[in-house]
Structures are given as structure tokens and as C-alpha cells.
Amino acid sequence: MEHVLLLKTHFGFDQFRPLQEEIIGCVMSQRDALVLMPTGGGKSLCFQLPALKMPGVTLVISPLIALMKDQVDALKANGIPAEFINSTLTRAEIDKIQAEVRKGKIKILYAAPERLVLPEFQMFLKTINVSLIAIDEAHCISEWGHDFRPDYRNLIMLRNVFPEVPAMALTATATKKVREDIIHQLSLENAQIFISSFNRPNLSYTVLPQKDSYDQLINIFREHRNEAAIIYCFSRKDTEQLAADLRQEGLKALPYHAGLESEERRTNQEKFIRDEAQIIVATIAFGMGIDKPDVRLVIHYHLPKSIEGYYQETGRAGRDGLPSQCVLFYSYADKIKQQYFIRQMENEAERKNADRKLDQMVEYCEMATCRRYYLLTYFGEDYQQEQCDGCDVCLSPKEEFDAIIISQKIMSAIIRTGQRFGINYIIDVLVGAKNKKIFERDHHELSVYGIVDDFSKEDLRRIISQLVSRKLIVKSGDDYPILELTPRGNDFLKQREKIRLPKLQAITRLSQQSEAVEADCDRELFETLRVLRKKIADEQVVPPYVIFSDLTLRQMAFYLPQSEENFSRISGVGEAKLKQYGKIFTEVIQTYARKNNLIEKNIPVKRTARPHRANRLGPTYRVTQQMVLKKMSIEEMASLRGVSAWTIMSHIEKLVSAGEQIDIDYLRPAVEQFEAIKAAFQKSGGTALFPVREMLGEQFSYAELKIARLFIKS
């Protein structure tokens, strides 16, 4: 109960997120902890709240120097004494902070890992009372991770100097192998391990072809006007050029990479986090210290190097819990470009590891099954949902085509060339390329040479990836993987089995893949509050989100709190912020409410922390629920809401599974249609839609099959 009180008083929240309270209890009982929690999951609170209860100082090791000031500013705004020591400070500033720490005036001190090797800093540490050591971005200690930093190996010194002090290692991206390495490197063998779900349900994932990527990018920003975005590019030159091109389009875009002068990089970051620039264009390789909660778009303009890196970078979107988009432009040419640099690596183990990670990234891009499932299973999470309703594959079921002939041609080419060549060679044989090695091996004499003229090389690459995912073909070997048929693939070829694959050109517009956030709040008031927040932030020289998050402003614009008591009930309003900003914001809300004849809504009082409800339904589902109560048709609801019939059906399915009392009987298909669909489901032996659609053809839409399935289940 005391923890809940601190949570509301200092951070303004009424309840903990999953695992936070258990992690806090662990370190408060003087135990080590390894915390795996996705970006935006609330890792920082796990050491920030215990710091308030512990007698000494909490030492936080973080590699993100650019981020330290923002985190310290946010803590100070919540009434928590915190400071950082890094290379941006003068000697006099460091001396002053160290003196305050010695006097017990600072509760949380941030430092970069490279500072630990400095003798004077080591001497300073021995003179203070350290109660907790928190190691952020702990995956940086492992050479098996995606962001290995040698300076992190110095952290074992802290364990030696403070053997009795509990240590907490935190990361948002770590496979099992990396977790084991973190434990070994930091001597955390007796640590309690906490693994939160890696699922970020508010993020949607989309992969688009890189063809006409710039035009697609401009269209995306037309759909998402004034929304904060991060774009990742392959090289420094790419970031500079793209940022300049976007400025020509009238967009506020700035570059951010390691090659910029530190002052320019700092200025660009400041403009972004203070809403003076809409877009930051950054290199994939450069780790950005951006702790901005309202990033609505993360766009990978070029292929990331690994799933870990991609997941961490997409994790910078929607940290405030509001729906946000993750878009990746994919071209196989990007893999070739990255492989060139991988081949330059002298260490064979590092080279093979980088190659393997890149192959996994390509597999993610070329797959035709749920992208969220792939990401979560990569990190060892058991994700059992049939569809996530949050990636392009699940939101836009692809049309399928009869792939028997092309599959037979591909597999025959693999067999006739001896099952000892890679994907590029097989494709060259199939399209009849004038490849010197093909002629040297007399493979131009084979019946499969030049046999494909109705698919491009890119199409063939995608089809082969689908055949690999169907376990008809397998890739073997590390440096140069070759294609071979599996026993199942041999049977498929001999028995001339049927196969249908997704149409390769079936790509929908981004706006159709994920509906916009429901504007339940008063948009005009929200914008007024944003202007007020920006004015206060500029006066205090802090980012706007340090004052209040977008989510907090939306609640204000929905509930219209006009008294101190009601204002304090808004999520994100703690005692310090109530005292500092309560009167200013309530006066603006009062004026707006009087002008527009609005009254404040009742804000539920949350007296105790409640268990997390994974299936809590948001406002967008409630809007659909109200339409169902009015007995609207699927088409009417979709038209009024500006979304697809598939999305509406997904809402209804979620409402039913959540136990909501809604009468959907009026949506039941006609008897004859229902019986046909029911028979197809029974014949398929499951509940998946694709086999049923294949049986019934195009006489029924996916949305119609989805609604019928509800009545079959009941």
C-alpha cells in the first residue's frame, strides 16, 4: 500500500504496470534482479521508486548520455532529487554534484559506463552510501547482443566494490543467450529474473516494398500530419539527404547521427523532444537517446541489421501507450549492401553471428504470417493468438494465387542443380540469367534454365521464402546458405500436391491497416492544452512531456477537471505537478468549458492498485459497441468509422470474447449461407479462415466468414 502511495504522490499513477510491484519488492528485500521489459513498459520506475525508500543513493549506469538530462529533468519535475555526471559537465559542475551526493541530498545519480574506469570517480564512489545499482541497457555487456559496448565490461568493478549492494540489470531486448551472458558478466547468478511480455499491443507493424519508397513516405506524413516520427536510414549521407528532401516538402525534419558536431546533434534532439521539429532522421547504427513518449511513427527507410535492433528501435514509438505505427521499407538489395560490410569483419564468429541476424531480419520482412508472432517467439515468448490484428499481414488478409506450377519449377531447379546452390544462383537459373558460372557448369542446358518469365527476381525471392516457411525447402550452411528440399518437399513434388500462396502485390495503404486513435477527447481543448504545455516547457527549458504526457492531456480534454481534487485524479498528476501546474491548467479548462457550455465528467477514484487486465477494451471498441446496440450493419459501421469491415468484425469478436453483453443475432447470416459456411468450417477441422475461404471461393468475404464463426462457436 505504501508503494502505491509513493506511485501516486511522485509519479501520478494509480496502479502499477505488470511486474513493477514484484520487482520493487525484490530489490527492497536486498536481492539482485534481472529485468526484461519492453520499451515503454515502465523499466525506469522499477529503480526510481525504490530509490525514494532506500537510505542512500541509487546509482544508475546508462550508455545514453543524451538521454540522462531528460530523465533527470522528469524526476525533478516529480519532486525527486536527481542528477547526472557525464562528459557534458564542467569540472566545477561535477564537484558540486558530488558534494551534494555526499551530503545525502541526491537520491538518484546517473553515470555513463566509461566513467567507471576513471580513478577519481572510483574514489568518489567509495565515499558515498550506495543503496542500489541499476544497470540500464544491460544487453550492451554481451557480445552476442546487437549493441555490444566494451565499456560495459567495466561494470564488474561495481560488483566488487559494493558486494552487499543489490544490483538490477534492465534491458528491453535480450534473447536467452544474451540473458545468460548478462548473468555471467555481472555475477547475477542468484538474481531473481523478471520477464515481462514483449508484446506492445499499441504498436502496429507494417512492411512495404522499397519501390517508390519516397512517395510512399510523403503519403504517410500526409496521413499523419504534425505527429512525431523517427526515420532510420542506413548511412549518415542518407540521413542528411532524406532530412533535406523532407524539408523541401515543407516538413520539419532534422538529421541525427554520430558524424554531426555534438552541439548540432544536441540542438536537433532538443528541437525534436520540444516539438519544434516533427521528424528526426537517424542512422540505424547510432543509438539514440530519445525518451519522447508521443512518437507516433517509427519508420525504417532501410533494412535493420537484426531483430533485436529493429525491436528496440520500434519500441521508441508509442511509449505513452497510445496507438502508433512501425513501418519498414524492404528491398533485398539492402541485404546485399549490409552483407558487403559484414564480409569485412575479421572475427569469424562475429561475422557468422551478424550474417545469421541479418537472415532473420530478411525472413521477418518476407514472411506472410503474423509479424507480431515472429517477434515475440524470437524472444522466447509463447504467443498463441491466431491473429494479432496489429500487423499488415493480419489486418489485410492477402489474396492468394495457385502456386503449384511456380513451386514445382523452383523445387525442380534446386534438385537439377544438385541441391548445392544458394537462392541467388537458383533464381538466376530460373530466369535464364547470362551468368558466367551457370555456363561454366552447363546449367544453361538444363530444362529449368529460363523456365520462369512471369515472375520477377524479387517475386521469386519472396515465393522461395514462403516455401521455406512452409518447410518444403530448407536453408543450410552459415556463410553461404544453400537450398535443399526437405522430405516433405520431396513428397510435395512427387505427389503434385496443391499449394496456394499470398499474392505478392497485395499491399494496402497504411491508413487502412490500422484505424486512427479515437478522438474521445475534445480535440480543440487538447490542442489548447498542448500550446499551454509547450509555453510552460519553454519557460522551464524542459521537453513538453516532462510537464505532462499526451495521454494526461487527453484525459484532461475528456474529463474537463475544474477543481483541484478532480485534477489530482488524472493519470500522471502527482503531488508535485498538482501543486505546480494544477491552477494554471484548471483555469484554462474552466474558461473553455464555460465558453462551450461543457460540464466536467465524473473521474473514477482509484483508491488501491488493481490487477492488470490484459484484455481491457479501449474507447475504439466502445464506439463499435454503441453502433451494434443501434443494430447497424457491418457496412454502415465501417463507412461511418472510416475503417474496413474486417476491422469492425475484429472489434465485435473482441467484444464477444470479453464477455460484453451485446446482441449480435441480427448480424447472423441467412440460413442457407450460414449452413454452407458452417459445413466448410467442419470440413476444415479448425477455426482458421483461410482454408474455409479457399473451399468456398470469393462468394463470401473474410468479414462474413468471421461473423459466421462467432455463431458457430456459440
d(CA 648, CA 569): 33
The structural domains of the chain, with segments of one domain joined by +, span 2-195, 203-395, 400-506, 523-595, 619-713
Architecture of the domain delimited by 400-506: Orthogonal Bundle (1.10)
Average pLDDT for 472-494: 85
The CATH number of 523-595, from 3.10.129.10, 1.10.150.80, 3.40.50.620, 3.50.50.60, is: 1.10.150.80
For the four alpha carbons of 59, 63, 69 and 71, in that order, the dihedral sign comes to negative
**Residue from 72, 56, 38, 50 nearest 3 by CA:** 50
Q: Give strand ranges (E) for 355-429.
A: 400-402
CATH class of this structure's domain 2-195 = alpha beta
Does 517 have pLDDT greater than 50?
no
pLDDT at 314: 92
Q: Confidence band (pLDDT; 50, 70, 90) for 298?
A: very high
Question: CATH top-level class for 203-395?
Answer: alpha beta
Q: Which fold has domain 619-713?
A: Arc Repressor Mutant, subunit A (1.10.10)
Q: Residue 533 and residue 94: Cα distance in Å, rounded?
A: 31
Spell out the long-range contacts of 239-243 with Cβ–Cβ below 8 A and sequence spacing 24 or more.
Answer: 239/281, 239/282, 239/283, 242/281, 242/301, 243/279, 243/281
Mean pLDDT of 2-31: 82
**CA 57 to centroid of chain Cα atoms:** 32
Give residue-wise pLDDT tens across range 238-257. Answer: 999 999 999 988 899 999 98
pLDDT digits (tens, 9 = 90+) for 528-574: 998 899 889 888 888 888 898 888 898 899 889 988 888 988 988 88
Position 618 scores a pLDDT of 64
Q: What local confidence, expressed as pLDDT, does residue 513 receive?
A: 37
pLDDT digits (tens, 9 = 90+) for 389-441: 889 888 775 677 888 899 999 999 999 999 989 888 999 999 998 888 999 99
Q: Using 50, 70 and 90 to split pLDDT, how confident is the model at 17?
A: confident
pLDDT reading at 285 higher than 70? no
What are the tens digits of pLDDT across the range 300-339?
Answer: 999 999 998 899 899 889 888 888 999 999 988 888 888 8
**Predicted pLDDT of residue 407:** 92
Quick one: pLDDT at residue 167?
92
Summary mean pLDDT of the chain: 84
Q: How large a percentage of the chain has pLDDT more than 90?
A: 27
What is the mean pLDDT of the segment spanning 691-710? 78
9, pLDDT greater than 50: yes
Q: Region 102-124: what's the mean pLDDT? A: 91
**In Å, how far are 212, 280, 409, 550 from 272, measured between CA atoms?**
27, 7, 52, 15
Two domains, one topology: 400-506 and 619-713: yes
